[in-house]
Amino acid sequence: MKKQWLFSGLLMSFLLFLGGCEPLAVFDPKGPQAALLKDVIMISIWTMLGVVVVVFAMLIYMLVKYRSSKTPADYKPPIIEGNKWVEGLCVGIPVLIIVFLSIVSVQSTYEAESVPEGYKDQEPMVIYASSSNWKWHFSYPEQDIETLNYLYLPKDRPIEFRLYSFDAISSFWIPQLGGQKYAMTGMLTKLNVAASEEGEIWGRNSNFSGEGFAEQTFNVNVVSQQEFDEWVTEVHNTAEPLDEETFNELLEPGHLGQKTFTGTHLSFNPAPEEHTEHQGEEHEDMNEEEMDH
């Protein structure tokens, strides 16, 4: 009786614990790219679940049908040759599953890397997302604004994030808008997303980058285009300008709250692609001077 009460108590505790859990963000998409990734995850889960169910059903069947029983001491099992059909199924079905999942993965990867469906006729808004220990810097070159640890995004407009890092490798991830992508020093990676619903969601660094990594998070506010334009106007009327000295202080390791500035650090500390182009121009100029000599 005591064991039954103990088991019932543990079961109720487990159910109450699960009842207090929030739904996984990846299963609550707020944009087409995240919805695509959710579908791929569900396809993989159902495929693997089907394999597990079939394997366990076959295991139970084999254990019951061919279980050990009392046989005469002189019993000799018959010699059975292999069955080509069974062997073909045992090899062919796993191969087909792998081919199927490979096709799904390749197609979804190409779709997730491109501008989301339904937004290809719009010009994407470019945002430079750069990381430092342990912060996220968001530069809006079109709006001439920079924010720290938070984003304002207009609904139903494609966004092109250009990612890089000032120190350790970070992983930029907004689970309800798209998959993660690495931000690295000295090179630029791009991530295309779009938000189809208004609201407040979150993002984070999903790659371990030191002791402050766990708190390297940021808020994402998805608003209408009108609200976004009003926010841009308010920032230009109230925020302080970002200069090189202030930005260098922001790069120091540590945690800071949300901050807003007019101007961006791109004017005095350009992104890797711009820096590379500039270096290339200087290199060409040097080659011309050498040829003149």
Task: Give the pLDDT confidence of 52-64 residue by residue, as tens digits.
Answer: 999 999 999 988 8
Report d(CA 1, CA 226) in Å as an integer: 65
Average pLDDT for 237-253: 96
Average pLDDT for 155-160: 96
Buried b (16+ CB within 10 A) or exposed e, 39-50: ebeeeeeeeeee
Of 30, 234, 33, 252, the C-alpha closest to 137 is 252
| Per-residue tokens: 287 | 């080659």
Average pLDDT for 47-74: 87
Rounded to the nearest 10°, the torsion over CA 83, 84, 87, 92 is: -150
282 or 23: whose pLDDT is higher? 23
User: pLDDT-based confidence at 14, cuts 50/70/90?
Assistant: low
Amino acid identity of residue 116, one-letter, is P
User: pLDDT-based confidence at 76, cuts 50/70/90?
Assistant: confident
Confidence check: pLDDT of 283 > 90: no
| Per-residue tokens: 175 | 């689970």
Using alpha carbons, list the distances in angstroms from residue 154 to 28, 122, 225: 19, 13, 5
Bridge-based pairing of strands 170-173 and 159-165 is unpaired
Report d(CA 97, CA 39) in Å as an integer: 17
Question: What per-residue confidence (pLDDT) applies to 79?
Answer: 80
Q: Which long-range contacts (C-beta less than 8 Å, at least 24 apart) are formed by 116-119?
A: 116/31, 116/32, 116/33, 116/158, 116/192, 116/193, 116/194, 117/32, 118/32, 118/194, 119/32, 119/156, 119/157, 119/158, 119/194
Question: What per-residue confidence (pLDDT) applies to 9?
Answer: 65
Confidence check: pLDDT of 240 > 60: yes
| Cβ atoms of residues 108 and 142 within 8 Å | no
| Per-residue tokens: 67 | 């279980």
Average pLDDT for 216-227: 96
Whether the model pTM is above 0.85: no
